[in-house]
Amino acid sequence: MITVVANLKGGSGKSTVVFNLALWLQMKGQPVVAYDLDPQQTLMDVAEVRREEGYAPALQVYPPRESLLEDLNYHPKNVHVLVDVGAANIDAMKQAIKTSDQIIIPVPPSQPDVWATQRFMDIVEDATGGQYPKMRAFVNRADTHCAVRESDDTEDAIKQIANIDLISNRLFQRTIFRRSLSEGMAVFEMSKRSKATDEFNTFAGSVFPELA
């Protein structure tokens, strides 16, 4: 199964989501490989940190190559292929979209990020000829204060975008996501009992309901 995590804007948390999803799947006994198609190569960097620190299981991350379409389709169907891709590599983004079984879009709570999501749909339509894969978006880096309305407004805006389903399980702006990533660990490895761990486990179960 090929899951693409994509967004046109930087800073949406794609690499953090892919890294934590990949390790969550591995903890569930699933075979996983990942592709880092973003020139910043954050996912490759954190996977290397994880290997250097000796954490298990390791995460195999591949860079983009000219044979990307063949590479993505090479893996057996029982392997979970996770793809981290941003707007800096539109060609690779389109190739990944063509092969994807599902696309997950992290949307930070702001109007510019909603606009970017709407523009991203144009790229998906162009890449697939309107034959959309399963597409779902969620609010990432939501504000933790209940009085702040931007996350609610962003979810309402997502619901208005055609061909996208809303994942109602938000991931919040919590320091542990940054700390764990810098140490090569998933958030649920760093702290088994935390709000972030509970939130991520619930979110991952929404992305892969058959493993929840």
Q: Where do the domains of the chain lie?
A: 2-149+160-203
pLDDT of residue 146: 78
Contact 55, 49 (CB under 8 A): no
Angle between helices 150-159 and 111-128 (to 10 degrees): 30
For domain 2-149+160-203, give the CATH number: 3.40.50.300
Contact 150, 110 (CB under 8 A): yes
Dist CA 83 CA 15 (whole Å): 9
- The amino acid sitting at 130 is G
pLDDT of residue 113: 95
pLDDT (tens place) for every residue of the chain, 212 residues total: 999 999 988 889 999 999 999 999 999 999 999 999 988 899 999 999 999 999 999 999 999 888 888 999 899 989 999 999 988 889 999 999 999 999 999 999 999 999 999 999 999 999 999 999 999 999 999 999 877 799 999 999 999 999 999 999 999 999 999 999 999 999 999 999 899 999 999 999 999 999 98
| CA dihedral (130, 99, 36, 25) positive or negative | positive
**Overall pTM > 0.85:** yes
Angle at 112 between CA 106 and CA 117, to 5 degrees: 45
pLDDT of residue 10: 81
